[in-house]
Amino acid sequence: MSTPTAAAEPADGERRTAVIATCALGGAGAVAALVPFVSSFAPSERAKAAGAPVEVDLSAIAPGEMKTVEWRGKPVWILRRTPEMIEEVKKTAADRLADPNSERTAYPTPPYAKNPLRSIKPEYFIAVGICTHLGCSPVGPKAPNTDPALGPDAGFLCPCHGSTFDLAGRVFKNKPAPDNLEVPPHKYLSDAVVLIGDDSKA
């Protein structure tokens, strides 16, 4: 019976090293294949741009402040109105507004926002921050008597052509903008979280 020679030992070592390397490469390949599969569960930037809903935490917005997020490539305002701001909206006479009840259909208002405050919750006003005239970006919110264009009214001003809107996004009469600011579909997932772009079962 012959005994193993010393020359066989390096060959076994090389074979073992090759097997380990092959397993390591196979494992790395499996991980690489898994990464895009797992990442596919998160909405891509392309999906977001195409209109994927956007979840927003409201807890960081202080009363009187406004946060802007992006949905479908458009700026969406979330204004946390103070009690004083809400009163400003309520006291605006309907005969001074072009569409006080949001009945025009160029930018249809969701049924749950067809009220004077144009919101689900009076405290939060959510609207697309694009003027309905030529697509400019209005500025605000502005307090009463802080801008000549708004005068005693609180609201938003489109500096391009002078359209003015109240704190519910309703356009004042005799302005270039033909319609109120658009209210996007949205719903509340909790008291502190709103979903922009989806109002199913709202």
Q: Which residues, including other chains, have CB under 8 Å from residue 12's CB and lie 6 or more apart?
A: none
What is the DSSP pairing of strand 54-57 with strand 66-71? unpaired
User: What DSSP designation does 40 have?
Assistant: T
> Distance (Å, rounded) from C-alpha 54 to C-alpha 31?
30
> Distance (Å, rounded) from C-alpha 119 to C-alpha 166?
13
In a 3-state reduction of DSSP, which class is residue 54?
Answer: strand
State the CB neighbour count (10 A cutoff) for residue 107.
19
Q: What are the angstrom distances between the C-alpha of 62 and each of 37, 126, 133, 167?
A: 39, 15, 30, 16
Q: Which of 15, 90, 161, 173 is the catalytic position?
A: 161
Query: Is 186 annotated in the active site?
Result: no
Q: Which residues, including other chains, have CB under 8 Å from residue 200's CB and lie 6 or more apart?
A: 187
Q: Where are the beta strands (DSSP E) in 36-167?
A: 54-57, 66-71, 74-80, 124-128, 139-142, 155-157, 164-165
Question: Which residues are known to be catalytic?
Answer: 161
